[in-house]
């Protein structure tokens, strides 16, 4: 099932079920420090799984099936340092940014 599309920075009430598991412990972060949780919340994630490797040694990202049956990345905020690499290098984000130029 395709996740609903919402604008980046907004919160979807239906696309964040997998994110919500860790959201309560999410520290405050600025717009400059997005994670792939924001890609999922924006309905842009394709489930490619690239972000798991992008996170590298921190291994803060795991792919999990959400309530809608979609395979999506979930960020363990106890391991994440908010470096933003997973977001910046996410193919869905890069494609969105390139289509805006």
Interface ranges with ligand SF4 (CB under 6 A):
35-36, 39, 45-51, 54-55, 58, 60-61, 73, 75, 80-86, 90-92
Q: How far is the CB of 13 from ligand SF4 (least distance, A)?
A: 19
Contact yes or no for 21/42 (Cβ under 8 A): no
Q: How far is the CB of 8 from ligand SF4 (least distance, A)?
A: 12
Cα separations in angstroms, 44 against 30, 47, 91, 100? 20, 9, 10, 14
Secondary structure of residue 41 in the 3-state scheme: helix
| 15 vs 61 by CB, closer to ligand SF4 | 61
């Amino acid at each position: 099932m395709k996740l609903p599309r919402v604008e980046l920075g907004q919160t979807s009430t239906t696309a964040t079920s997998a994110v919500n598991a860790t959201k309560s412990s999410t520290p405050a972060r600025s717009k400059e420090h997005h994670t792939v949780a924001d890609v999922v919340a924006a309905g842009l994630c394709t489930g490619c799984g690239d972000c798991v490797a992008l996170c590298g040694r921190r291994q803060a990202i795991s792919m999990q099936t959400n309530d809608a049956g979609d395979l999506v990345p979930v960020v363990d905020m106890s391991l994440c340092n908010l470096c933003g690499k997973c977001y910046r290098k996410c193919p869905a984000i890069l494609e969105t940014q390139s289509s805006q130029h």
